Amino acid sequence: MPKRFLKTRRDFVATGAAATLFHIVPPHCLSLQGQTPPSDIINFGHIGIGGRGRGFLRPEVNLDKPGPAAGNLGGDGSRTQRPVRSLALCDVDLKRLDDAASRVGGKPRLYKDFRKLLDDKDVDAVVIASPDHWHALMTILACQAGKDVYCEKPACNTIEEGRAMVTAAERYARVVQIGSQGRSQMASFHAKNYIRNGQLGKISKVLCWHYASPDGDWTPDEPAPPEIDYELWLGPARSMPYNKKHTHGQFRWLIDFGGGQIRDRGAHVMSIANWIMECDAKGPVSIDASGDPPRDGMYDSAVTMQVTYEFKDPDWTLVWAQPGETSKELDARYGAVYHGDKGKLTVTLGDGQGTSTEQKAKDYKASIDGVKVFQSPGHMENFEDCIRTRQKPIMHMEAGHRVASLCVLGNVAFQLRRKLEWDWKTERVVNDDEANRMLSRPGRGPWSL
């Protein structure tokens, strides 16, 4: 079992009882002179701090400044009223862990095993930015430990995982936000406001486009570098030799770890579609897929792909296409066009690159008795607000599961090369035992649901 704290930096924080015997209580602990009392601070633990995870780190909070000034920026540039700090950091790569500690400053608590971070009673909420195959177990265990969770997309790798995550969030009354942040960007608000108020009429289809996945790489396997606990990195996924093109930033192109473009950017583009079409609690009735697998190389996710999802009540069609046909109205590498009987609207991107839509949607103002669309202050800001209010965030766990289900089912239909009839209420493929076996995975060693 890894040690509770990993001594990877000088002057590492003391952890023994002796370190707490004598302690001068600073003014902020008494909430004097407008300082922020510790009870008002959200203490974050960060699991996975390379790449995307690095962007969530918060510099050390100066508690001797007034509360709002120590907080984070809201979506409109204002300060939220509850400051946050990165109290604890966790990664299986000790180089990344050391780098993150330097970025945060002060003396954050450092862990290699995420379970030890979850044992930390001072951590209020966790940000999970691990590779996709870890999202489900980490989220479930965090809920059990009483932590609220911000988990990067896609929510899960299988249907079974997603439903277990929903159950855990509900059973332990946890706030869970899935990191498809496009819903919290202004262009998505403008698009939904425009569409839900009838400006396109009845929507019949949403056509997504995205560029193809990589193909043709044959990087040889090699021993894992000493700073990476590769066995812990693998966790619930099937065992395979270490390869730098399977791990940091490259895991997405393997079904076991990531699942290709459809599970990566599809979890952004189709998240916005589900939100606009109000399908956060339901799913399609059929899924049909075609495309080209890798011709050569070390990856197994689709290179080109078209997946058609049919929805009922109301009836509409969602198409994921890579590469697909790009929008004529807005130039972007990926996005979606919403087609109604009164016109169409383009919404591009939907991730950290930003979101855009056409000027007609930006200029539109709903009437006073029109449909009211929730406007998020920002994705992380919305999560932090919900930690305080205990309301559901804009990309709550059920919504995240339903979007991830689209991605999972698209891959299953592609692998089986046949149309799937989907019962979204029972979350089973109708009369297809082989497909249903692909909706879960056995896990590995101690890492299973």
Whether residues 52 and 112 fall in one domain: yes
If one counts the domains in the chain, the total is 2
* 176 within domain boundaries: yes
CATH number at 28 reads: 3.40.50.720
Average pLDDT rounded to a whole number, residues 385-413: 98
User: Cβ(40)–Cβ(82) under 8 Å?
Assistant: yes
pLDDT for the residue 216: 79
What tens digit of pLDDT does each residue of 329-356 get? 999 999 999 999 999 999 999 999 999 9
Whether residues 290 and 308 fall in one domain: yes
Whether residues 266 and 404 fall in one domain: yes
* 10 within domain boundaries: no
Whether residues 207 and 156 fall in one domain: no
Question: At which of 149, 180, 211 does a domain end?
Answer: 180
pLDDT value at 63 more than 60: no
CATH number at 361 reads: 3.30.360.10
How far apart CA 234 and CA 444 sit, in angstroms, is: 9
Whether residues 201 and 271 fall in one domain: yes
Helices 266-276 and 397-416, axial angle in degrees (round to 10):
120
Whether residues 160 and 187 fall in one domain: no
297 band by pLDDT with thresholds 50, 70 and 90: confident
* 244 within domain boundaries: yes
How far apart CA 69 and CA 181 sit, in angstroms, is: 25
* 359 within domain boundaries: yes
Whether residues 150 and 125 fall in one domain: yes
Place of tokens 């890798």: 294
- Distance from first CA to last CA of the chain, Å, rounded? 21
What is the percentage of the chain residues whose pLDDT exceeds 70? 86
Written as six digits, the tokens of 312 are 């009922």
Q: What is the pTM of this model?
A: 0.89
* 272 within domain boundaries: yes
Whether residues 201 and 289 fall in one domain: yes
What tens digit of pLDDT does each residue of 104-131 get? 999 999 999 999 999 999 999 999 999 9
pLDDT for the residue 61: 60
Residues forming a β-bridge with 199: none
pLDDT for the residue 39: 64
pLDDT value at 78 more than 80: no
Whether residues 99 and 45 fall in one domain: yes
pLDDT value at 369 more than 80: yes
pLDDT value at 197 more than 80: yes
Whether residues 199 and 214 fall in one domain: yes
* 388 within domain boundaries: no
* 447 within domain boundaries: no
Written as six digits, the tokens of 225 are 């570098």
Question: At which of 164, 180, 196 does a domain end?
Answer: 180
Question: At which of 180, 204, 219 does a domain end?
Answer: 180
How far apart CA 77 and CA 72 sit, in angstroms, is: 9
pLDDT for the residue 40: 79
Whether residues 193 and 62 fall in one domain: no
pLDDT value at 28 more than 50: no
* Domain carrying residue 111: 17-180
Peptide bond into 154 cis (omega under 30): yes
Whether residues 335 and 312 fall in one domain: yes
The helix/strand/coil state of 206 is strand
* 437 within domain boundaries: no
Helices and strands (H, E) in the chain, number of each type: 12, 15
